[in-house]
Amino acid sequence: MSDTAATARPPAFGDMEHELATTRRLLERVPDEQWEWKPHEKSMTLGRLATHLAEIPMLATLVASRDEFNAGGANRWPDGPPTTRDALLAAFDQAVRGLTSAVDAVPGDAWGKTWQLKNGDQVFMALPRAAALRTFGISHIVHHRAQLSVYLRLLGIPVPGIYGPSADEGARPRT
């Protein structure tokens, strides 16, 4: 991050890289053979949930780089969504690079400008860009990451530490 970007990025995004790295550690544990598994009939499949986590940084990039996002007819996966862990991680890594660049390119005075989430002419959300990115990007990824950690636990897959060691890691420090 350049010195200019460091001064332009609001302090509320000081944890962005940590949250993204933590999310990647969970995505690394998604087993290809359980892609269609879901814990309940109303739940997303493991693959769909993991894919949604991979697309959130792409969506958050739109918050940083545009004044609005119109979800009507949006196709986030023109070549189809990832269907394997390797493809998922590649998509996530690319999306994270795009998000980091987009956030660092936002001029300091643009963080207070209103950003809108729309579907056609209907406005679902209108917030200052900084609040929209925090809500739509970071808090959103934390929410779905928590769901993914439960899916992994139910499948008997060791869960990495998120804000400290997990029960699977014991007292070992994270690397």
Say what the pLDDT of residue 101 is.
Answer: 94
Q: Is the sign of the CA dihedral 57, 142, 106, 130 positive or negative? A: positive
Q: Provide φ and ψ at 165, rounded to 5°.
A: -65, 145
Residue 28, SS3 per DSSP:
coil
Cα 105 to Cα 116: distance, rounded to the nearest angstrom:
19
| Architecture field, domain 3-154 | Up-down Bundle (1.20)
Say what the pLDDT of residue 71 is.
Answer: 84
pLDDT score of 175 more than 80: no
For residues 161-168, average pLDDT: 89
Model confidence pLDDT, tens digit, residues 81-134: 999 999 999 999 999 999 999 999 999 899 999 999 998 889 998 999 999 999
3-state secondary structure 44-89: CCHHHHHHHHHHHHHHHHHHHHCCEEECCCCCCCCCCCCCCHHHHH
Say what the pLDDT of residue 106 is.
Answer: 93
Beta bridge partners of 95: none
Is residue 59 within 8 A of residue 99, CB to CB? The reply is: no
Between 65 and 14, the higher pLDDT residue: 65
Say what the pLDDT of residue 4 is.
Answer: 44
Say what the pLDDT of residue 11 is.
Answer: 76
Model confidence pLDDT, tens digit, residues 36-74: 999 999 999 999 999 999 999 999 999 999 999 988 766
